Amino acid sequence: MEVYEFKKSYLTRLLETTNVLNGAGANIPASAIRSEWINFVEVAVEPTGWQALWKASRPVCEQLAVKYPLVVLGTVDQVLFDEMKATFTVEAILDDDVQLPEERITVDLEELWPLREQNNPALNVDITADCIDKLRFFYQHLWMPWDIDCEDEHGWLEKHLESRIRLCHDLKNKTMSRQLSSHALALLAEARYIQRKRELIEQELSDEEPEEDEEDNETSILKDNRSSDLLQLNLRLNTIKNEINILENPVMRSVFEKVRFGGEKSEGAEQMSYIVTQAVPLDEQLEYLGSVKTMMDLQTPVKMCDSLQHALDHCCPDSTIYLPPGTRQDIKFLEYLNGGGSFRGVSKAAFVDGYEVASKVNPTIVSKNDDSVLLTIDGDFTLENVRLDCANVRTGVVIKKGNITFRNCCFTGDPNSSTKQGIVIFGNCSITFDRCLIREFSTGIYSNHDCAINLINTTITHCMTGLETLDQCRIMFRSASIQHCSQYGLLLEDFNDDDDDAQDQHGGATDPTGSGTQMYEDFNTIERDEFTFEGNCEFRENAKGNFAIRKGFSDRFNSSCFVNEDDDQQHMLEQTNISSCAEEEDTICNVANFEDDDLGEVQIETSSGRKRLFSKELRCMMYGFGDDQNPYTESVDLLEDLVVEFITEMTHRAMEIGRTGRVQVEDIVFLVRKNSRKYARVKDLLTMNEELKRARKAFDEIKYAGAEAKLK
């Protein structure tokens, strides 16, 4: 089920937005922007009857009290042009465990992704999808939540459009330092989240009718927590506005970075340990330093810091930071943890033995603001004897790669949240949880393919789903426990079509809801290569089942538009089962690259299973060789499997003859040197590629120069 994809350069985005908001040649103010978009949408978008996928935003999921991400298939009954919304009839939900309160709901137009195949072929959905793409890009990347409150002395296009496009370009092409770009992306994601949250709260307050005997306004406002939340959101949004205004100016960025983050960290310096201290009497301080002394190499140089944030601002990736017991360390850390560094709490109270006592004795790390992610790890790292308070972030820890060890750590979320995630793990990682406690998350651990997870004397409790993983992820349970989850203890998304019968033969019961999910209560009845059980493991009191193996519905949701394939997402944490269209490197703009969901809530893959990378190209090739213009999906999939198999085999062979772990063009040429037809084709493609690069570069330079002259 494919949705429309659009690959556009930033220059194209600039010209498209200018054409939509030209205001009949006038430079329109911010207050008229929405009216211009309404006029454009009313002309271009089909008013009713087209099918689409609805990707619900995180605030909407929080309001509906359902798990994030949420992808829904349905039909647009009516487009509400004045509100830029649509009434949407739900036909199918990606997650079988999600139940929406109503079958017919009102959604934002920019959250809809029209399908390529429509029930009514007479509809002009091509233009509809292109219009929504323009609308989505504008409101997710160019329009800021505070723009509507700005004065209209200057036109919006003249004042903001070019600088906002330039900021997107600079973030995409890494012209800023990693630290500054991470900070900018975090601010943008937080601003989008606050805007959506603020809209929902304001709508709730406006929809409520005051009672006749209601107290005076001031008293009622003070008693309503939502009004207090709205005030906090507005104050935070004003702070973000001031920083983004500075970052839009390239000249001011270096000055801002020096003021905000201090001096540069020295690279390749001698390994250093940092001891975080607190204001206590001398005897307690000496006792604390004596405890640190027993935990470290006496030959390692040390520095004293008054807070974890101070240490993070100056440390190198391989540094060890020691934290005093019983302290709360508020951080705003925007770089990645790697290089073999570590955080070590100078205490030994075990969380799995006594949560309340250990929480008071061990140090706690918490985010200063409502960030998307508390910590991001992309290399070898260790955390020991610390509590990670994730109540005010949307994802606790994101692990992108490396060997990571959590030893006697506690991860705590929010028991009232249906969207908060504990640990999100990408592929090619090895993670060990030793004597850890994970509690009160929507999903305790979320893992991609090709990960190795070791749960040793670790407990996951009071989550919606304790551990959710895709198939081919290796998980070892050693005296581990998953209990008191409101849905499943462990949920495995299985995309292997060969295991349907095997599940029925080994004690799996089918879910009575008819979703095709296989349920297991006893882990001894599960015969899966992904799981290993040792010692006294315990899985109990999980409401819908201790173990669930659910088949991926590749025939229902197989759109590449929601699979992130952009290498520049190393700056984005968010994530995301649901991501945006794959875009060409250097020149292509990802339509959802800086969305709050991608930044903070990194979901790894949709439940569609294996990514279909070449479907569009193969359809065209099949048509060119005499097949139907719309060939059978099964035929395209079969041909793609053969293509992927060929590419995989060639890659493995190239890795064997070339540099270890790398594949170069010369390796491919060497492999096909004896096949005259393939060799000639490779040679032609390489030559054509160089010519296209030169032509594209010259063409883009001419167009960009002309556009700049036109804007000036």
Residue range 307-360, pLDDT digits in tens: 998 888 888 888 899 999 999 998 876 667 888 899 999 988 999 989 999 999
Least confident of 53-67, 212-226, 547-561, 583-597: 583-597
Contacts of 363 (CB under 8 A, 6+ apart): 323, 324, 325, 326, 327, 328, 329, 345, 346, 347, 385, 386, 387
Question: What does pLDDT average to over the chain?
Answer: 79
Is the model more confident about 209 or about 283?
283
Q: What is the pLDDT of residues 472-482, one digit of tens each?
A: 788 999 999 99
663 and 685 both lie in a single domain: no
pLDDT band at 189 (very low <50, low <70, confident <90, very high): confident
Is the model more confident about 210 or about 561?
210
Question: Hey, what amino acid is at 352?
Answer: V
Checking if the pLDDT of 668 tops 90, the result is: no
192 and 102 both lie in a single domain: no
Which residue, 270, 376, 284, 387, is CA-closest to 327?
387
Q: DSSP for 555-578, please give it.
A: TT---GGGS---GGGGG------S
Q: Which pLDDT score, from 0 to 100, does residue 406 have?
A: 96
250 and 198 both lie in a single domain: yes
CA distances to 86, 443, 467 from 111, in Å: 10, 24, 28
Which residue, 483, 627, 500, is CA-closest to 552?
500
**Hey, what's the torsion of the CAs at 231, 233, 239, 244, to 10 degrees?**
-140
153 belongs to a structural domain: no
Q: Are the C-beta atoms of residues 613 and 559 closer than 8 Å to each other?
A: no
pLDDT band at 78 (very low <50, low <70, confident <90, very high): very high
567 belongs to a structural domain: no
Checking if the pLDDT of 233 tops 70, the result is: yes
365 and 464 both lie in a single domain: yes
Question: Can you tell me the distance from the alpha carbon of 202 to that of 226, in angstroms, rounded to the nearest whole number?
Answer: 9
246 and 375 both lie in a single domain: no
Q: What is the pLDDT of residues 613-650, one digit of tens each?
A: 787 788 888 888 888 877 888 888 888 888 888 888 88
Mean pLDDT, rounded, for 408-428:
89
Mean pLDDT, rounded, for 554-569:
34
249 and 138 both lie in a single domain: no
244 and 369 both lie in a single domain: no
CATH of residue 482 = 2.160.20
pLDDT band at 591 (very low <50, low <70, confident <90, very high): very low
Mean pLDDT, rounded, for 388-407:
90
609 belongs to a structural domain: no
Pairing of strands 381-384, 402-407: parallel
408 belongs to a structural domain: yes
232 and 341 both lie in a single domain: no
CATH of residue 658 = 1.10.20.10
* Mean pLDDT comparison of 64-68, 237-241, 379-383, 664-668, highest-scoring range: 379-383
117 and 55 both lie in a single domain: yes
214 belongs to a structural domain: no
Q: Look at the chain and report how many structural domains it folds into.
A: 5
Q: Which pLDDT score, from 0 to 100, does residue 217 have?
A: 55
Q: Are the C-beta atoms of residues 446 and 604 closer than 8 Å to each other?
A: yes
State the burial class of residue 266 (Cβ atoms within 10 Å of its Cβ: 0-12, 13-18, 19+).
exposed
Q: Which pLDDT score, from 0 to 100, does residue 650 have?
A: 85
Q: Which pLDDT score, from 0 to 100, does residue 127 have?
A: 92
Q: Which pLDDT score, from 0 to 100, does residue 151 have?
A: 64
Q: The domain containing residue 687 runs over which residues? A: 673-709
428 and 405 both lie in a single domain: yes
Question: Can you tell me the distance from the alpha carbon of 532 to that of 523, in angstroms, rounded to the nearest whole number?
Answer: 10
Provide the CB-side half-sphere exposure for 47 (13 A, CA).
5
* Mean pLDDT comparison of 267-271, 291-295, 514-518, highest-scoring range: 291-295
Rounded (5°) CA angle 209-111-562: 145
484 belongs to a structural domain: yes
Which residue, 495, 489, 530, 522, is CA-closest to 506?
522
pLDDT band at 510 (very low <50, low <70, confident <90, very high): low
Give the total residue count for the chain. Answer: 712
Q: Which pLDDT score, from 0 to 100, does residue 691 have?
A: 82
323 belongs to a structural domain: yes
Checking if the pLDDT of 210 tops 70, the result is: no
514 belongs to a structural domain: no
Which residue, 545, 549, 583, is CA-closest to 563?
583
Question: How much of the chain exceeds pLDDT 70, in percent?
Answer: 80
Q: What is the pLDDT of residues 85-134, one digit of tens each?
A: 999 999 988 777 788 888 899 999 999 999 999 988 888 899 999 999 99
Checking if the pLDDT of 426 tops 90, the result is: no
300 and 239 both lie in a single domain: no
328 and 309 both lie in a single domain: yes
Q: Which pLDDT score, from 0 to 100, does residue 606 have?
A: 31
Q: Which pLDDT score, from 0 to 100, does residue 183 have?
A: 81
